[in-house]
Structures are given as C-alpha cells and as structure tokens.
Copies of this chain bind each other. A is one copy, B any other.
Amino acid sequence: MEKIQVFLADDHKILRESLVILLSQKDNIQVIGEAGDGQEAYRKIAELKPDVAVLDISIPRLNGLDLAARLRSEMPEVRTVILTMHKTEEYVAKALCSGVQGYVLKDNALEELIECIEKVYNGKMFLSQDVTGFVVDGFISSFRDGGIQTEAISTREREILQLLAEGKTNRDISEELNLSIKTVETHRANIMRKLGLRNLADLVLYAVRNHIIQP
C-alpha cells in the first residue's frame, strides 16, 4: 500500500517533533520532511514533492498563506493543509483564496488533522467544524449583498484613524496636522460611520486588527 507522503512546516519545534512521531505511527501516513520556516519549506517541498503539505500560517520568512499560494501555482499536485491557531473569518478567507484544500485548528483533536490529511489526499476538501460556519456565512452573504461592502476610507481618514488609535485627542491631531478641530471631528465621525464603529475602543481594536497600529 502506498503511504500518504506528508510534509510539515511549523516554527514550533515541539509541535513539529510531536506530530512527526505521532503521524508516523499511522500506517497510511509517512512524514517525509519538515521545516521551521517558509523559505526552507518551499525548497524542501520542491525537492521532495509530498502528497500533502501541512503548513502553519505564522512561520518566519515566508508565511504559510503566501507559501500555499506559491505552491498552488507552481506545484498544484502538492495539496496544502493549513494547521493554525487562527480561527477568524479573515484567516480562513485568505487561506481559501490561497487555494488550500484543508484548514484545521490547533485546538482541534489530532484525529481531525489525520482525517483532514486523508480527505485531502483523496481529492476532497476538509475544514474544521469550527471554521465551516464562516464559510457558510460568507457564501450566504455573498448572495445577499455581493460580498461584504466595507466602504473604503480615504488616505486622510486612515491617517487620522491611526492617530486616534495611538491615543491622540482631536485637539492633538488638529495641531499635528494643522487642521481645525472641527475638521478632525468630521473625519472622525465619517470614519466611525464608514466602518460601523460605535466608540473609540472599537476604533482602536479595528486599527489593531487591520494592522494600522501594532499592539
């Protein structure tokens, strides 16, 4: 019987080692390589041509999503599975856009990962129960209103958004940018309206989530 040849990319060596040992105990799975960063993973995958590449998202040098996108275009015969701690809609959406065949959360059971590898090897897709909700919701809402319409904020608004998230007051900002307070107030209100934010705390969290500021 042919074993499923699996490659692992994860920067946590403890997890990687553990998975190598445990997956190898399954008699239909064989781990043929591993890597601790994206670049190394790319090289080794190109050389080893595994059936399934299991990738963490947050790995150094080349993240798992970009790596997956690259694998899809250059080696479509290598199927990719994301194994990650991230359970937000944003990451799931990005992963699916990158053309991965599987998405498993690290807080799922090991058995889920094994099932995922087997399904994906057999040409199916596999998503963790926890993330399928997002996908269904996204599918439904794409019918309802043609996708999420995040009204784009302008450059100036983004600039002010950042200053607000950094803790500046309207007055601070008006002085820093040589504007009237009223102008800043208007921008602020427009930002809030466009992004559907209710208060400053929401705004700060929005900025963190969208990497406008670093926490």
A residues at B contact (CB < 8 Å)? 11-15, 17-19, 21-22, 36, 83, 85, 104, 106-110, 112-113, 164-169, 198-205, 208-209, 213, 215
Closest to A60 in B: B107
Closest to A166 in B: B201
Which of B11, B83, B165, B166 meets A14, CB within 8 Å?
A: B83
Closest to A85 in B: B12
Contact B199 A201 (CB under 8 A): no
Contact A110 B18 (CB under 8 A): yes
Query: A11: which B residues are within 8 A, CB to CB?
Result: 107
Contact B110 A14 (CB under 8 A): yes
A57 to chain B, nearest CB (A): 13
Contact B200 A13 (CB under 8 A): no
Q: How far is the CA of A107 from the CA of B11 in the complex (A)?
A: 6
Contact A22 B18 (CB under 8 A): yes
Given known A-B contacts A22-B18, A22-B21, A106 and B202 have beta carbons under 8 A apart: no
